Structure 1
Amino acid sequence: MRRLALLAALALSASAHPALAQTVAEPSDPYIWLEEVSSPRAMAWVEAENARSLAVLKADPHFAGFYADALKIAEATDRIAMPRLIGGQIANLWQDAAHVHGLWRMTTPTEYEKPEPAWQTLLDLDALSAAEKANWVWAGADCELSSEKRCLVALSDGGEDANTLREFDLVSRSFVSGGFMLPKSKQWVSWETPDSLIAARDWGAGTMTASGYPFVVKRVQRGAPLTAATEVFRGKPDDVFVIPASFTDGAGHTEVVITRGITFFEAEFVRVTAQGTTPIAVPRKSTVKGLLQGRLIFQVNEDWMPKGGQPITAGALVAVDPEGKAAPELIFAPGPRQSVDADEVSVTRDHVLAAVYDNVRGRAMRFTRSAGGWQQSVLPLPDNAAVSMVSSDHASNTAYVSVQSYLLPTALWKVDVASGAAVQIKQTPARFAADGMVTEQFEATSKDGAKVPYFITHRADMPLTGATPTLMTAYGGFQVSYTPHYSGVTGKLWLERGGAFVVANIRGGGEFGPAWHEAGLKTKRQVIYDDFAAVAEDLTARKITSPQKLGIYGGSNGGLLMGVELTQRPELFGAVSIQIPLLDMLRYEKLSAGASWVGEYGAMANPDEKAFWLKTSPYSNLKRGAPYPETLIWTTTKDDRVGPVQARKFAARMKEYGLPYLYYETTAGGHGAGANLKESAMTTALEMVYFQRHLMEAN
């Protein structure tokens, strides 16, 4: 993003000439020892860095108030208890001040709609953690679909991706004595029948990919030890992962589908039958979303000309006969500035629901299969907002859908999908005073001429003098769309204090479908960083803010984005917060789950891709004496996806070079801000203190 034309030209020339790429020297790395996540030496370093940074941030007079406000919002008992339909009942995982780990609980649909529902506790995670002397974090529940009376409850130690699975009986509200129990692993497990599971997990030496995920699928029978599990499918050690999933539809059809992830974005799909496994004829760049009337619902992320069917464009929804006897059916094809949110597609008894975005403004759509083809309609929900398919099931045409925007608190709607009727049943109270605030959408022009949209929320009377303290964020990777969202904490701690908030919809995301994502893959990634810089420059050109008043933040891949922006264009920003980041791109494949992301970032064994990251990787491109703003870097010890080590090494190199930084590492929380609401509020308060000091108080 922040590359000048000359630098972009150098990137292109290195890509065109592998011999030239190989002449770039790889810097030495004196901080490999920080990659030993829990070693005494590394943890002593973390403790010292935490003490130094907390002495600055927690001593700030704003910290106590920020923490109190953030925690009050996080633990508010009047927030929406988001529903999950299980067996015709409503389940929910609830955390508050009295239930730090959480309560898994259930009520009836009628009771749920009351202002104060009567809940029945299924599982008290605080009591369980105390009894087992563990730090259990809820990681979800997968319920057997024929009766939905028993579930596999996933429990994570401190928020890791790895989890333990235990069978739970919803009727007795207890773990099943002698029931299914799968010990800690990175694993995907799905019910095949009430008495058998299809499981991908660590089965022992030689069953996990280089990315740290399973590639062997076995059938686990009730009452039999895991050692007796029989193999169903085997991928390859150099795959990213293999994931089994079970689907049932309202007509009684069932399918068990195994996704063999060849790369992060490419997969082969097979169905499990009594005779073994058979392939499903879909493009590799596809994802399976559900089952309806015996047809598997896929989102296809590449152009496809199926045999005997009509042309299908990238980003479309299609219905596929799993046996391959009938041609695929086109459900919906988005236009050039449209996209189907990949995470917001659900299936009811008779319909497909999806969040469809037009220039990053969402609406909920219903798709119905008929003799004349698929019919579509728009559900009567607020437009120009973010739409989430909260819950639906195969047994009914009831769905729960949430709607929110930057100034509209999250509302929950109950939808009768068959009739298309919708009624709002719950509304989150406003968490900040939004009177006099507006959200606008602008476009910036990137270096290559691409138009990059962004949203800015601010006071309507904001003076255009370049003096408004502004926070800006983006993600820019993995086809993840950054859609409008309501953040009570951002509103309370930033917007109410006169700040502005910006979300940039840069390339690498999915806001405009697969092409928007693929424009920034691997060695083409500089356009992502140029897009972000273009938005920053546009904010200054419009005199909304100025570099000394502009702060940026992002996490995970967004943390990499922040690191690149810091090292390429430090003159554009007054503060940079780098969250749970990738930063050492020359070694990322060897760290945590890094090998799984080669499809996004490239491989260091490829000379062109390595040459790109030699010039771009933040850890390798920090410069002594460069005019970087004081940078906040934070991560979590328990993150087993990206890991804390890249953040540690980046901070250590900044210290070596005499560069200004603050570093904070919480010991729990996985790939997030903390394992519970208190820890998350703590991280939020620390970050907001940092931005307050640099953007609102600095001259």
Structure 2
Amino acid sequence: MNRTAAALAALLATTCLSSVAMAQTSSPASSAAPAGGFASSEATDPYIWLEDIEGERAMAWVEAHNERSLGVLRGDPRFDTLHRQALEIVESRDRIPSPGFNRDGTIDNFWQDAEHVRGVWRTTTLDSYRSAEPEWETILDFDALAAAEGKNWVYKGATCLPPEETRCLVSLSDGGKDAVTIREFDRTTKTFVDGGFVLPESKGGASWVDADTLLVSRDFGPGSMTTSGYPMIVKVLRRGQTLDQAQTVFTGQPTDVSVSGYALRDADGNIRATLINRGVNFYEGETHRLNADGTTTKLELPAKSSINALVQGQLVVTTDQDWTAPSGQEFRTGDVIAWDLDRWLADPATPAQLVIRPTEREAIQGISNTRNKLVVAMTENVRGAVYVYEPDLAGEWSRTRLALPENVTVGVGSTSERDDRVFVSVAGYLNPSSLYLADAAAGSADIVKELPAKFDATGMTVEQFEARSADGTMIPYFVVHKAEMPLDGSNPTLLYGYGGYQVSLLPGYSPTVGKLWLERGGVYVVANTRGGGEFGPRWHQAALQQNRQRAHEDFQAVAEDLIARGVTSQPHLGIMGGSQGGLFMGAMLTQRPDLINAAVIQVPLFDMLRFHRLLAGASWIAEYGDPDIPEQRAWIEQYSPYQRLAAGQPYPEVFIHTSTKDDRVHPGHARKAAARLEELGYPVLFYENTDGGHAAGANLRETARRLALEYTYLTRRLMDQPAAEQAE
């Protein structure tokens, strides 16, 4: 995955193994493609008007549906308790403050709680951070800023100029959108710089070159954005210049996803190369070096690759395709390789060193570097470990394993560039999150923070099973449940899936799932389907484009396996997923409604014949295919949920929610799905948050309300005794 894809995907949130044959329940719904019928074009889509995001008619529809759905769900006697519990969890101060190393050794953190709903950017010393009660110094209070400026600011991050890191570029979103305003901030005075850099709202970014120079990729006016809605042009902006006066140094193509620029720096903050990334599509790109004279030189890298780190002068790159290097060396998909940067820039035929070649059941989940070491988070059969790699004088790489707990998920957090310390998070479905401070040079790790349990996991266990998909591939999945669970099909079960963009669903501790579902007798299941990254790039690529249906069949196979094992049954099985996972839910609803009795469909993709024409949708063509190309449209039509919704199907009442402010996945997908279901006579609950962005939660209170709505709905559908059972 190229650097652009990794950034966009980031914007796009344990015991035994066994296998059984797919359960033979009832037959799936017909898989015949729609024959030029409903919503095959704008002219045949009666709900195209719902794509007018803030249009008067569309918003009146939203308000009416919000009123009805909130009335139903908030009127349920269990809503208030679930809402109170969710609010206590999301606003709790009893959380691990996520630490970020500064180059001077201090620690930064972004924090939200009941008093800081929008959040506060704060700092402390490492010694203070390690104490039970750190003494925090506020850098910027976003609640106070929003109140002072009368804005609905949502913090989207800051980047500070090394090595001093006193001048920062702060990104602020209006209501949670991906588009941000960027403003220069002085950490020393804790104020925005008078007359400093200010970039108006746009998708894109900016990075420091030096104190008076930025690399900027923004909306520069007509013709400057790609068809995906991201920047196509990179400019060098000098202090005192307007955006119109900035020097253009790179222009991509309208069909690209986006372009961006950044400075590749060593551990001391010195620029070793200034690079431009051209995202040709979501997974393929080019990296160009910006030369001193303003020209650019394309670097010899695989189209599907990522620059991961620069450590001890070695440029570390992951390739997501089989590749023959200019040196003649052959590398495989998933390999991690490295070059001496200066030698390679001077001669692209310089041989590379193989750093890592994962096995079939291994996957690299993250790569970072300290001052002298490469730190890699890996999974083997979806269980995590962290390894430390270091080159010798000959460029050969050796590795050691950090001393961390096993059979859990581990994640590499912030790393220090003044020494070899690194924060590592450790969690499991039933293991509260803990934070270790590791010394990558010594291979040791000490626990720094550990959360108390947020729900009662007494008597609960985690199991890992496999289901056989339609083509025979074994699909692993985790089941979290009470150990004494009866295998009689009576257990209310929530099946979660995502299945795209090489995103791995790894075991993690969720207080809200635990408190609002598991503790109340629910079973929680996570499916590691193809399309994800649990087993590396090949696992993802197996469900791309014309093979997307494989991922849907994987998810369906897990549902069937749960029923075959007696874990649950159709009246007690519900599904949940968001964004690409919302498409997953739509595919299950339209292909195998006989398996489920509930579906929480979060900020979904649903109209796959128009996804590429809505907001950032064109950037996802590499994942799904292009509906404007007949051959590719044919395979998309086979599963596009909006067009496949039909009368006379056993659809359960579904809960669909989205956000007006989502400028990534268009809220029209969710709106049109609800409208079509209602037209066909099915009950549907629909809720649209008028803020929130793609995460559908601009602040903690809205997040708590969304969670309470979801689990109230699931309680009604899966825990209440079905009418058929009452009749018996």
Q: Smaller-chain TM-score range?
A: over 0.9
> In structure 2, how many angstroms separate the alpha carbons of the residues matched to 1:473 and 1:284?
32
1:569 aligns with 2:592: yes
Residue aligned with 1:531, SS: helix
CA distances 1:205-231 after superposition (whole Å, capped 9, x unpaired) = 100000000010000111222221101
- Alpha-carbon contact 2:39-2:46 (below 8 Å) kept: no
C-alpha distance 208-427 of structure 1, shift in aligned 2 (>3 A): same
Q: What is the aligned counterpart of 1:152 among 159, 169, 172?
A: 169
Deviation for aligned residue 1:307: 2.5
Q: CA RMSD in A?
A: 2.1
Q: What is the aligned counterpart of 1:527 among 550, 555, 567?
A: 550
Q: What is the aligned counterpart of 2:355 among 324, 328, 331?
A: 331
Residue aligned with 1:247, SS: strand
Deviation for aligned residue 1:310: 3.7
Alignment of 1:15-26 (within 5 A): 26=40
Q: Which residue of 2 aligns with 1:170?
A: 187
Code of the residue aligned with 1:306 in structure 2: it is: A
- Alpha-carbon contact 1:363-1:387 (below 8 Å) kept: yes
Moved more, 362-371 or 574-583: 362-371
Deviation for aligned residue 1:388: 1.7
Q: Which residue of 2 aligns with 1:464?
A: 487
- Alpha-carbon contact 1:212-1:592 (below 8 Å) kept: yes
Q: What is the aligned counterpart of 2:197 among 155, 174, 180?
A: 180
Q: Which residue of 1 aligns with 2:254?
A: 237
Deviation for aligned residue 1:108: 0.8
- Alpha-carbon contact 1:2-1:530 (below 8 Å) kept: no
Q: Which residue of 1 aligns with 2:210?
A: 193
Deviation for aligned residue 1:26: 2.7
> In structure 2, how many angstroms separate the alpha carbons of the residues matched to 1:644 and 1:143?
34
> In structure 1, how many angstroms separate the alpha carbons of the residues matched to 2:267 and 2:623?
37
Q: Which residue of 2 aligns with 1:122?
A: 139
Code of the residue aligned with 1:288 in structure 2: it is: I
C-alpha distance 3-128 of structure 1, shift in aligned 2 (>3 A): farther
Alignment of 1:539-558 (within 5 A): 539-558=562-581
Code of the residue aligned with 1:334 in structure 2: it is: P
Moved more, 26-35 or 461-470: 26-35
CA distances 1:455-496 after superposition (whole Å, capped 9, x unpaired) = 010011111111111101111011111111110000011111
- Alpha-carbon contact 2:237-2:243 (below 8 Å) kept: yes
Alignment of 1:339-350 (within 5 A): 339-341=363-365, 344-350=366-372
- Alpha-carbon contact 1:268-1:284 (below 8 Å) kept: yes
Deviation for aligned residue 1:163: 0.2
C-alpha distance 3-540 of structure 1, shift in aligned 2 (>3 A): closer
Identity value in percent: 49
> In structure 1, how many angstroms separate the alpha carbons of the residues matched to 2:301 and 2:313?
16
Deviation for aligned residue 1:25: 9.2
1:588 aligns with 2:611: yes
Q: Which residue of 2 aligns with 1:17?
A: none
Deviation for aligned residue 1:605: 1.8
> In structure 1, how many angstroms separate the alpha carbons of the residues matched to 2:92 and 2:446?
24
> In structure 2, how many angstroms separate the alpha carbons of the residues matched to 1:592 and 1:4?
39
Residue aligned with 1:593, SS: helix
> In structure 1, how many angstroms separate the alpha carbons of the residues matched to 2:680 and 2:313?
61
Q: Which residue of 1 aligns with 2:228?
A: 211
Deviation for aligned residue 1:24: 11
- Alpha-carbon contact 2:385-2:401 (below 8 Å) kept: yes
Q: Which residue of 2 aligns with 1:611?
A: 634
Code of the residue aligned with 1:634 in structure 2: it is: H
Code of the residue aligned with 2:152 in structure 1: it is: N
1:631 aligns with 2:642: no
CA distances 1:16-70 after superposition (whole Å, capped 9, x unpaired) = xxxx998999372001111000011111100000000011000111111101111
> In structure 2, how many angstroms separate the alpha carbons of the residues matched to 1:257 and 1:382?
38
> In structure 2, how many angstroms separate the alpha carbons of the residues matched to 1:216 and 1:605?
26
Q: Which residue of 1 aligns with 2:9?
A: none
> In structure 2, how many angstroms separate the alpha carbons of the residues matched to 1:129 and 1:559?
32
> In structure 1, how many angstroms separate the alpha carbons of the residues matched to 2:82 and 2:680?
32
Alignment of 1:644-659 (within 5 A): 644-659=667-682
Deviation for aligned residue 1:293: 2.4
> In structure 1, how many angstroms separate the alpha carbons of the residues matched to 2:107 and 2:679?
54
Q: Which consecutive aligned stretches of 4+ in structure 1 deviate over 3 angstroms post-superposition?
A: 1-11, 20-25
CA distances 1:213-265 after superposition (whole Å, capped 9, x unpaired) = 00100001112222211011111111011122223222645322221010100
1:282 aligns with 2:294: no
Q: Which residue of 1 aligns with 2:51?
A: 35
- Alpha-carbon contact 1:95-1:102 (below 8 Å) kept: yes
CA distances 1:72-129 after superposition (whole Å, capped 9, x unpaired) = 1111111011011123211111111011111111111111111111111000101110
Q: What is the aligned counterpart of 1:272 among 287, 290, 308?
A: 290
> In structure 2, how many angstroms separate the alpha carbons of the residues matched to 1:551 and 1:220?
52
Deviation for aligned residue 1:152: 0.4
Code of the residue aligned with 1:519 in structure 2: it is: A
> In structure 2, how many angstroms separate the alpha carbons of the residues matched to 1:477 and 1:2?
25
Code of the residue aligned with 1:575 in structure 2: it is: A
C-alpha distance 73-25 of structure 1, shift in aligned 2 (>3 A): closer
Q: Which residue of 2 aligns with 1:48?
A: 64
Code of the residue aligned with 1:73 in structure 2: it is: I
Residue aligned with 2:615, SS: coil
C-alpha distance 400-538 of structure 1, shift in aligned 2 (>3 A): same
CA distances 1:108-161 after superposition (whole Å, capped 9, x unpaired) = 111111111111100010111001111110100111123211110101001000
> In structure 1, how many angstroms separate the alpha carbons of the residues matched to 2:259 and 2:191?
30
Deviation for aligned residue 1:384: 2.1
Residue aligned with 2:559, SS: helix
Moved more, 473-482 or 381-390: 381-390
Q: What is the aligned counterpart of 1:380 among 403, 407, 412?
A: 403
1:249 aligns with 2:266: yes
Residue aligned with 2:475, SS: strand
Q: Which residue of 1 aligns with 2:376?
A: 354
Q: Which residue of 2 aligns with 1:369?
A: 391
1:311 aligns with 2:330: yes
Code of the residue aligned with 2:204 in structure 1: it is: Q
> In structure 1, how many angstroms separate the alpha carbons of the residues matched to 2:473 and 2:201?
46
- Alpha-carbon contact 2:121-2:138 (below 8 Å) kept: yes
> In structure 1, how many angstroms separate the alpha carbons of the residues matched to 2:455 and 2:39?
51
Code of the residue aligned with 2:195 in structure 1: it is: G
Code of the residue aligned with 2:40 in structure 1: it is: E
Deviation for aligned residue 1:625: 2.4
Code of the residue aligned with 2:119 in structure 1: it is: G
> In structure 1, how many angstroms separate the alpha carbons of the residues matched to 2:313 and 2:241?
32
Aligned length: 690
Q: Which residue of 2 aligns with 1:452?
A: 475
Q: Which residue of 1 aligns with 2:446?
A: 423
Code of the residue aligned with 1:256 in structure 2: it is: T
Code of the residue aligned with 1:250 in structure 2: it is: A
- Alpha-carbon contact 2:559-2:595 (below 8 Å) kept: yes
- Alpha-carbon contact 1:37-1:645 (below 8 Å) kept: yes
> In structure 1, how many angstroms separate the alpha carbons of the residues matched to 2:30 and 2:585?
22
Code of the residue aligned with 1:255 in structure 2: it is: A
Moved more, 536-545 or 362-371: 362-371
> In structure 2, how many angstroms separate the alpha carbons of the residues matched to 1:367 and 1:647?
46
- Alpha-carbon contact 1:250-1:396 (below 8 Å) kept: no
**What residue ranges of structure 1 are gaps of 5+ in the alignment?**
15-19
C-alpha distance 552-24 of structure 1, shift in aligned 2 (>3 A): closer
Q: What is the aligned counterpart of 1:671 among 686, 694, 699?
A: 694
Code of the residue aligned with 1:139 in structure 2: it is: K
C-alpha distance 381-109 of structure 1, shift in aligned 2 (>3 A): same
CA distances 1:536-583 after superposition (whole Å, capped 9, x unpaired) = 010011111111111100000000000010010000001011000000
